[in-house]
């Protein structure tokens, strides 16, 4: 995971300054400890003065063995609700360093969010800066970005084809990295893809639904029951609760995100009412939602990415090649990022 400027020993809030530690396994233990602590305290109110965690970024500086909202960092503005939590931009009171923070109730905290995220290091994935427990909450700190693709779609109605393909290629690059690190995201959608200031670079975030995969690419999590992620972007094998769920589920969701960028609305929702699970499981893939005016190469990306049978569905790498081809066929990225508003596609 890299250097951590502060590793909090144990769960009793005692802090020992360590010049260097490999936070990986420690981070995993810490998160498991937090979860165990929750189980032990189930029903009790966690003492408000509990304050332990891991900080990986030197610009975030604990004071007197603590790092607390108000005392050590201040909320700047509310951003939106990531999975299970409210997101704010915050600032370190001493270094004035600005970063993102998501506050999650302990009982909603999944140690996978930190475990999987801290295993990733890619220009296409937002950097995790740390995790702190503050009483009944866990607070995740990350590199602050300039908004999300979801916010850009709301501003622009729908995105130009070249921009949508440009973003899709980058999301597929992130999925290639996740596959290499055996991580399933399970909530790929425009709201969880963040943008650089100039809007040309994207960063995957919010690993609140993520799971580890085994060598064969199958999820290691036993929890088949609770349906996670965003309904409109769920792959058929996920809504059917099939035991074999793997990286192809994120590929399906990335194509739902492509349709969302191109049409300005989530797939399925113009044709069906919720709950959508049965339709996703039983209906053909939403290929009729491919915009009629898009390039045949873009249509091809969606057709091979929305194969209902995971084994027939393209891998992230294969789909990235096709999406890059489609982007070249439409002349590469030439549209302005923050351009004109385009009405979302209406049903014909």
Ligand X SMILES: Oc1ccc(F)cc1Nc1nc(-c2ccncc2)cs1
Contact indicator for 213, 247 with CB cutoff of 8 Å: yes
Under the rule (CB under 6 A), what is the footprint of ligand X? Answer: 79-80, 82, 87, 100-102, 140, 142, 145, 147-148, 191-192, 194, 205-206, 208
Nearer of residues 74 and 334 to ligand X, judged by Cβ: 74
Instruction: Report how far residue 27's alpha carbon sits from residue 7's, in angstroms, rounded to the nearest whole number.
Output: 9
Closest CA to 305 of 295, 294, 318: 318
Least Å from the CB of residue 221 to ligand X: 18
Which residues lie below 8 Å from residue 120, measured CB to CB, with a gap of 6+? 177, 178, 181, 183
Instruction: Report how far residue 163's alpha carbon sits from residue 154's, in angstroms, rounded to the nearest whole number.
Output: 15
Active site residues: 187
Least Å from the CB of residue 228 to ligand X: 14
H/E run at residue 304: helix 296-305
Nearer of residues 100 and 310 to ligand X, judged by Cβ: 100
What does each C-alpha distance from 114 to 101, 188, 279 come to in angstroms? 13, 17, 33
45: left (phi over 0), alpha (psi -120 to 50) or beta: beta
- Please state the φ and ψ torsions of residue 318, each to the nearest 5 degrees: -65, -40
Nearer of residues 148 and 266 to ligand X, judged by Cβ: 148
Other CB atoms within 10 A of residue 136 CB: 16
3-class state of residue 292 by DSSP: coil
DSSP state letters, 55-114: E--TTS--BTTB--BTTTEEEEEEEEEETTEEEEEEEETTT--EEEEEEEEGGG--HHHH
């Amino acid at each position: 995971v890299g250097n951590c400027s502060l590793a909090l020993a144990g769960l009793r809030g005692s802090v020992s300054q360590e010049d260097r530690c490999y936070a990986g396994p420690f981070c995993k233990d810490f998160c498991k400890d937090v979860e165990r602590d929750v189980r032990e305290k189930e029903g009790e109110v966690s003492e408000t003065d509990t304050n332990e965690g891991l900080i990986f970024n030197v610009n975030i500086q604990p004071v007197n063995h603590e790092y607390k909202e108000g005392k050590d960092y201040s909320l700047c503005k509310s951003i939106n609700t990531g999975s299970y939590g409210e997101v704010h931009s915050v600032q370190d009171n001493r270094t004035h360093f600005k970063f993102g923070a998501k506050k999650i109730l302990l009982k909603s905290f999944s140690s996978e969010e930190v475990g999987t995220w801290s295993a990733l290091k890619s220009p296409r994935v937002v950097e995790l800066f740390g995790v702190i427990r503050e009483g009944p909450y866990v607070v995740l700190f990350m590199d602050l970005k300039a908004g999300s693709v979801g916010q850009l779609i709301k501003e622009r109605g729908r995105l130009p084809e070249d921009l949508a393909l440009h973003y899709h290629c980058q999301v597929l690059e992130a999925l290639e990295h996740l596959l290499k690190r055996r991580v399933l995201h399970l909530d790929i959608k425009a709201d969880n893809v963040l943008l650089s200031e100039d809007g040309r670079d994207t960063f995957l975030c919010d690993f609140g639904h993520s799971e580890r995969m085994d060598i064969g690419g199958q999820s290691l999590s036993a929890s088949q029951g609770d349906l996670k992620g965003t309904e409109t972007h769920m792959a058929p094998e996920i809504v059917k609760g099939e035991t074999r769920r793997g990286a192809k589920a994120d590929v399906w969701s990335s194509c739902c995100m492509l349709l969302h960028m191109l049409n300005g609305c989530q797939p399925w929702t113009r044709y069906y009412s919720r709950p959508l699970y049965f339709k996703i499981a039983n209906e053909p893939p939403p290929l009729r939602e491919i915009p009629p005016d898009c390039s045949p190469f873009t249509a091809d990306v969606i057709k091979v990415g929305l194969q209902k049978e995971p084994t027939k569905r393209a891998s992230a790498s294969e789909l990235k090649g096709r999406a890059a081809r489609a982007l070249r066929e439409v002349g590469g990225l030439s549209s302005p990022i923050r351009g004109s508003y385009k009405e979302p596609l209406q049903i014909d």
